[in-house]
A and B are shown apart, each in its own frame.
Chain A
Amino acid sequence: MLLTVEGLEVGFGAFSPVDDVAFSIDRGEILGIVGESGSGKSLTAIAIMGLLSRIGGRIVAGRICFDGIELAGLPEAKLRRLRGGRIALITQNPMTSLDGMMRVGPQIDQAARLHLGLDRRAARARSLELMADLRIPDPARVYDLYPHQLSGGMKQRIVIAMALAGDPELLVADEPTTALDVTVQAQIVQILVELVKRRGLAMILITHDMGVVAQTCDRVAVMYCGRVIERAQVNAIFEDPRHPYTQALIRCIPRRDMTRGSMQPIPGMVPNVANQPAGCRFNPRCPRVADICHTEIPGLRVSAGDHGVACLRADAA
């Protein structure tokens, strides 16, 4: 396994918005992390990047093991060599992810110059190649443009090129298509999938779009309130979802044969970090809730086919 996360707990002050998160990913694989806003998806990504301290958080417990290197507790200087080099981040909003006062080309160059030791000209050549690879038309012209002169889709391609510039092995893509138009979303997703397959990268794709997950991922981890509540091969998640939350999520995917008003939203709201229910955190919204759910925290129980579920009543239905 290229990356293994075990029992990860992320703390902000007295709160732990991410708790007991575990998953792993290998080269050539796409792991989807799905969940609503506030489920701890993005924090997990930031934790893997080793950037929690930038936003005032810290790793309280658990391991993040990347190719035999333990990232939790690794000194900042060593983290920095991995960051942008072997592990790269693609962020959510391309509108705000680029430095608006700098031409986009040199922004791509940075990682290559830093991690591959290329000089200005070699880095530029490499960036132009990457841009062409990502189907950016006329790379030599775009190289000298400023971010505000590009469309959202083009900016996201630049962000992807930036991530690839340091020749990473692991891509962490935090909702890479959320801020884009639907038509552009499909293109970007396609580009990312191609990259992973062709370059043998590993990619963690964080999203709340089950449709994207179905199209692209090999395996899926579903998060709710900072915990992984179900984890399985992508087919198993869609054909045999075992956690009531996963089942509800899948019922929320719009389908063509749906009649008006037949969409079933999940009742209730995601509880606040400071105000988590005791026991299973999904219990206020769960159709299958029993007494035990209010007292006991369910751990992830893994059964055949590496299908893990964190539900005390998984066998009840």
Chain B
Amino acid sequence: MFLFIIKRLVLLVPVFFVVSLVVFLIIHLVPGNPIDNLMRAGSSSAQRVQIAAKYGLDRSLAEQYFVWMSRLMTGDLGTSIIQGRPVGALIARNLPYSLQLGGAALLFSALTGITAGVLAASFHGTRLDDGISGLILLGSTVPSFWLGLLLILVFAVWLGWVPISGARGWTSLILPVIATGVGGIALVARVTRIAMIETARQDFVMLLHAKGLSPLVIQLRHVLRHALVPVVTILALRIGWILGGTVTIEYVFARPGLGSLLIRGLNQRDYPLVQACLLMLAMAVILGTLIGDIVQAAMDPRQREERP
């Protein structure tokens, strides 16, 4: 198990370099550049050359990549061209908001989704199952920004229970977490339900019933345990997504966050900022997958041995 984790961590090094190269090329190859955003109307082309030289944009792509990488190795993420501040500081200021929202939404969708899935599977074929499955379908199709607006209207404007927007205090987190989490709930519930129904058809479950165990014990202690393996995969994949994928929610609720930071950077072609954000999100996705694999290996003895 320990060896398995070490091996996977070592494998992350080449992945990191490939991802960094892809991230670097993507942003440099799209049309437009940060200089356009810095130039004021009527600026001369001499000024343009001067600015390009200041940020090293006049050098070849290979050179620029090398400079970025060598700075990155020393922990320097560079300086935002447009905002003029260290990228590290910008991320550090936005990251906690994203972690709060993402973490809470992930937890919320995991707990609610698994509960809904267990209920639907345990009452498979009944009205309760139909009801939950209907809600799941609704939840997976409702756009989160629209749901966010609706929630604001009802709970903030009409009822006045929570703040309309902003990120002050934990009450301001409730609506964004619900709006972000609903899609996750639907996904988790669907996977849990199907995995449980399929597990329940296996021979060993019949034999558990033949032992006289109660259906509740069988569902929760045996069937759910098997069903959680694919659920962990889904949740792990969402770790990365939830850090950067809540952009629309951040806009709707006027919350700071990595998503908004990245979008602003993209619009302004702020190379250092975009590169750092994308690299971080990509690594979050990869780390999420790794965590998922480790949790799965801890849960399932068969996987533990297949990948020593």
Contact = CB atoms under 8 A, between A and B. Distances in A.
Contacts of A100: 204, 226, 300-302
A148 B211 contact: no
A88 B210 CA distance: 7
Interface string A96-116: 111111100000001100110
Contacts of A98: 204, 207
Interface stretch (A16-24, A77-85, A204-212, A287-295): A77-85
A20 to B, nearest CB: 25
A22 to B, nearest CB: 23
- Most chain B beta carbons < 10 A, residue from A85, A89, A91, A97: A97
B300 A89 contact: no
B214 interface: yes
A93 B305 contact: no
A166 B211 contact: yes
- Most chain A beta carbons < 10 A, residue from B209, B210, B226, B301: B210
B164 to A, nearest CB: 47
Which size bracket describes the interface of B in this complex?
A: 20 to 34
B212 A96 contact: no
B226 A114 contact: no
Contacts of A102: 222
Contacts of A166: 211-212
Given A96-B202, A148-B305, A101 B213 contact: no
B122 to A, nearest CB: 13
B301 A101 contact: yes
Interface in B207-224: 207-214, 222
A91 B207 contact: yes
Interface of B: 202-204, 206-214, 222, 225-226, 299-302, 305
Interface of A: 49, 51, 54-55, 80-85, 88-89, 91-93, 96-102, 110-111, 114-115, 146, 148, 159, 162, 166
12 contacts: A51-B209, A80-B213, A82-B212, A91-B207, A98-B204, A100-B226, A100-B300, A101-B299, A101-B302, A162-B207, A166-B211, A166-B212
